[in-house]
Structure 1
């Protein structure tokens, strides 16, 4: 994915939703409603919420700007396990100098700006700029994937039927969202009181400027939904230096890719109603039966290119008469990728859904639904527009809708309409320079993905149930196992990143949890380097200290009280003023802690099978993991600098040791 919200982890209005690739489902959260007034309404909408979708948005609390002294204290605590004594003294010196001088000045500017921009958060603008100004290709560097579980009814897992149902449910989600009928995203700490029709009928009459406070009184915490409008009809468009996000809600068509060919057809009629599901199915059937060979120069490869190079090639496309067809691609509701592959296992699926062949993708779309020949489905999404809250909600909803209320069935007869007249295959005018650019983009893509290793592991010796019974945070234990594994494999404690959503605040983005701490370093050293010197009871005490500290860091991050985003925003202010960076930012320790060798994210959802992403640095590991009731799973990626299977073996050994200690067994 998940760290799921619960009474154990939440004692005040905080939300622990993880995101590099995703954000997490909320425990005790019921999506949808049975308040559907007619069969026609049921076919067009997922449900009809009693509370308008954006009812809480105006009254959401604002993301706080942390106190600078707290940020420096947290920064130094995170640096301590990564540095030797001399390095730490130097980092402490420059940090205290920053606190007393330049940092204080920048903090005053940041607070003044924040007071002038009460409609948003202090991090929203800089975070958009960070993503959109990045020049690396979005594939591998930014786009993650989430893979859906198969439909429990095996006959519904055929590629055509599953793709048709997913398109229909996605369109229904879009219509429900835009009609204001989608249930607001709310965490219910006391669902017996707040997740009820009686409460919803009452709160919908509350003024939008006060609605959040009414929910808060009953321990319900609405989440920011400002990113949802970018889900549909949206594309990241390359421009020199900084890309732009394009959204055209008027688009009524779907973009479909197969064998690198691009097709479009309308899924909405001129009145905005979804076309009959059988007609959508027939159009997809027509595309699947089309015998057009794969193009010699597949345009989708350009979306895997360096952003400045892609921007230059896009200008050439516009100059050679491709403006209208590019607008058609950019304004499509979303992209459906029909892959002519059968996936052997989870590793094969991870490679296909994370990057595929670089031909049958348009990585710039806000999201693409990918359906393989065997019906295995996933979503790959562009990350600049949002942090995953909307994506996982969308996936949960369409999985529920396609499995419980499918509109297309395996034995359904053809609609009888002429799909040949509905479907249009897109063609592009290419000159020699564009052909050469596509060829180079594909070669660069192939070289990049050839270096990527992905492997997976399942530990079946225990999971969430045993850890909670021992009063340990499941997420803290998983993170500790990664620290122990890296120490066992490489003899080091390294910068580690775990992202936490700040969606409890208006226009909140993310904050970083720093799992490598003085507690995990001491505990990992005891388990790995000197296990025989410690009784099981001593090791258990260390586990509890790690768990308590990790839970504290998580709560602080969810409340916007980390240090990473704050220091980032202050650095951006300094750059805007054309001032040289303070020594804090020039300190090698600052660069090292932001060179995240272990980039981690967790997922747990009944809809999601697995998820993954590439490492964020060349010598790093991308660690996707989930702590389930009775097992723990990891899906890990890496480049040649790291031994991915070896790391997973070390994680497995670390988890074995931890659960042996829980059983009171001494380690050798």
Structure 2
């Protein structure tokens, strides 16, 4: 085959006349161009390292300092106060011998200027770090901005004036503080008060007091020592013990999914949708590598968020181990791994250092779709190993994938930029049963057939037969907002920038001499762990009850007119819905980010509070309780602010527990706290790049958001995305094995709770007090 010969740079044979050497100049040219691309990337990385290394100054500011110092010296003034002369005395002998007197002075001045410049950079960076450590702005009342905050805003804008790269702020972000143990325990007891009876609360209070007076302070000292030494005292332990050390399946239990547009499928051609989606993802990777993405900020402000999670977005795989998994990341890869009807392929997306155009990638994908070859023995369900328990997968990997053809093929999957599944099913909302179709769409993205996704990859893209797409993301390397940012860019670039021809194909020309996608080869024995892993994964998948529904009655537009945070409104509605569904309250998890701090990830907002419970009980008792709702909403917002600013409860208690395990001591209090089930686990997926979506001219391009599996066997997982001004999309999950939960029933309760609370508050719209406190996001937009 011609493409096979193109892959060989040279051939030689030994004949009686000597060695016959044949060179393939085309292949050598490909190698040369690929090497040029690699060196360009290295130079770009070096340039970016210099630019972000001197931020908030610029490299050109060095020249300004040098000129200023030399100009001052020319005017016969010594700006260094004698330091230049001292530097001249200590110059190396080689410099002195090579320079005359004036040259020595010039070299000394350059050294002094450079040292002065570096000192200024460190000073500016220290000042920026101090400014970013100020969080009181988040707690100020709407319309009552203090003078301190106004000065802070001005200084922060001055120091953030230059156009930063993606990672420019990393070294200026403050470290996550360790809360006082007394404050954490007080907030914890307050959070469980509505969930415990009087005797139960007294017992828990006694355990907390005993912990504080005995073991707590000792553990706290170790934790503060770690906080002084480590960049973030939580994140490494959180990644290791919550994610990587878990031995249960990551499918459903950990991985989460993201969906396509609700109403629109840009093309019905599967290969074309794959071509544009893959191209958009690789364009995003290029922006990450070149640090061309703007740093993510708190909405409406100039306050940056940590971008460390972007570093492992591509070319990353979670590899199994007997005791703990490991995240492996490679600098770059020029191919993606593709699965179709039981076969695995390596698809090269670069040729001679050039990214293939969307039409060429579509052409290659179509070759895979048209390939009639059957799966090799044991190949078709191989992905089930990543869906089952981790220890059997680790043992299989050591036994069958540590050498030979299996290792080479596994390396191709794990080193790929990301994983692509060409699914032979059709998904989406359209059809005779749109509601049921959305539920099946969610289940397909969450677990598929349990063997047609590679759940260990940082993320896997799924392209369905009818052109619909979606993704499944592994959780240990990053949290949902990071993946959501990637997915927003991908959907917008696919639909609005790359586009399609009238017949639904990708734009561009095709080089038909492209080598065929490479089939990955396997040598898998008949008796393996694949069957048992698939059985475990199938049982887990069949037990998941998913329900996705767009709530169209109203959205954040109506809620904000009431001067209420949309998130607080939804969270209190979830409390009301759960109370009606289960007849009581439960420990509720809402994810909040801590990316105001370096390497920050998440914190828990315990959104079931005394105030929210009081409101729900009053409403169900038939009372007019608008005031109680306002108190509950403000309480929720305050809890959210505390979590964002490092004063949360759960990560601190988690780290204290880890320290206790390292010391080999038991704490009845920590053991009980860490074993409490989260029967209602919630998360908001915010739209971060509204500028990419023109909902006014393209109102049908509405994101469905994404979701996750239930955390507790007898609980609910709820994800929601606020779309535009008039819609909220909800994703609800539970387990069929629990007779007390039903995702569809809970969805109905959520819809009714939202409408009931709005009806309660609507008469107050025109008479709302002007001094009501607004949400942190509204306040930040007014400030910054």
TM-score band w.r.t. shorter chain: 0.7 to 0.9
Work out whether 1:622 is the aligned partner of 2:714.
Answer: no
**Partner residue in 1 for 2:357:** 276
Distance in 1, Cα, partners of 2:263 & 2:170 = 34
Distance in 1, Cα, partners of 2:419 & 2:735 = 29
SS in 1 for 2:347: strand
**Partner residue in 2 for 1:554:** 640
Contact 1:164 1:408 in 2 (8 A): no
| Shift, 1:586, TM fit | 3.4
SS in 1 for 2:344: strand
User: Could you say if the C-alpha distance between residues 80 and 336 of structure 1 is closer, same or farther in structure 2, counting changes exceeding 3 Å?
Assistant: same
SS in 1 for 2:573: helix
**Partner residue in 2 for 1:424:** 518
Distance in 2, Cα, partners of 1:250 & 1:469 = 48
Q: How does 1:482-631 map onto structure 2 within 5 Å?
A: 482-528=574-620, 530-531=621-622, 534=623, 536=624, 539-579=625-665, 581-587=666-672, 591-592=675-676, 595-605=677-687, 608-628=703-723, 629-631=725-727
**Partner residue in 2 for 1:75:** 188
SS in 2 for 1:505: coil
Gaps of 5+ in 2: 1-134, 140-161, 429-436, 688-692, 694-701, 765-784
SS in 2 for 1:63: coil
> Normalising by structure 1, what TM-score?
0.82
**Partner residue in 1 for 2:245:** 133
Contact 1:151 1:157 in 2 (8 A): no
Q: Of the candidates 361, 386, 391, which is equivalent to residue 478 of structure 2?
A: 386
| Shift, 1:487, TM fit | 1.5
| Shift, 1:157, TM fit | 4.6
User: Could you say if the C-alpha distance between residues 350 and 53 of structure 1 is closer, same or farther in structure 2, counting changes exceeding 3 Å?
Assistant: same
**Partner residue in 2 for 1:105:** 218
**Partner residue in 1 for 2:95:** none
Q: How does 1:289-368 map onto structure 2 within 5 Å?
A: 289-293=370-374, 297=378, 298-319=381-402, 321=404, 322-344=406-428, 345-368=437-460
Give the number of the structure with larger relative contact order, counting CA–CA contacts within 8 Å between residues 6 or more apart. 1
Work out whether 1:251 is the aligned partner of 2:333.
Answer: yes
| Shift, 1:320, TM fit | 6.4
User: Could you say if the C-alpha distance between residues 53 and 459 of structure 1 is closer, same or farther in structure 2, counting changes exceeding 3 Å?
Assistant: closer
**Partner residue in 2 for 1:22:** none
| Shift, 1:413, TM fit | 7.3
User: Could you say if the C-alpha distance between residues 647 and 430 of structure 1 is closer, same or farther in structure 2, counting changes exceeding 3 Å?
Assistant: same
| Shift, 1:129, TM fit | 1.0
Work out whether 1:476 is the aligned partner of 2:589.
Answer: no
Q: Of the candidates 284, 307, 318, which is equivalent to residue 173 of structure 1?
A: 284
**Partner residue in 1 for 2:128:** none
Contact 2:450 2:541 in 1 (8 A): no
Distance in 2, Cα, partners of 1:472 & 1:625 = 17
Q: Please identify, of 287-296 and 474-483, the stretch whose mean Cα deviation from structure 2 is larger.
A: 287-296
Contact 1:259 1:359 in 2 (8 A): no
CA-based RMSD of the aligned residues comes to 2.2
| Shift, 1:181, TM fit | 2.1
**Partner residue in 2 for 1:147:** 259
> Normalising by structure 2, what TM-score?
0.70
**Partner residue in 1 for 2:546:** 454
Work out whether 1:635 is the aligned partner of 2:731.
Answer: yes
User: Could you say if the C-alpha distance between residues 329 and 180 of structure 1 is closer, same or farther in structure 2, counting changes exceeding 3 Å?
Assistant: same
Which protein is bigger by CA-based radius of gyration? 2
User: Could you say if the C-alpha distance between residues 656 and 179 of structure 1 is closer, same or farther in structure 2, counting changes exceeding 3 Å?
Assistant: closer
Q: Deviations over 1:130-185 (max 9, x none)?
A: 21001111100000001121696x65353222210111111111112112222222
Alignment coverage as a number of residue pairs = 576
Distance in 2, Cα, partners of 1:13 & 1:135 = 39
Distance in 2, Cα, partners of 1:627 & 1:169 = 24
Gaps of 5+ in 1: 1-9, 15-48, 191-219
Work out whether 1:238 is the aligned partner of 2:311.
Answer: no
Distance in 2, Cα, partners of 1:331 & 1:337 = 16
Contact 1:146 1:608 in 2 (8 A): no
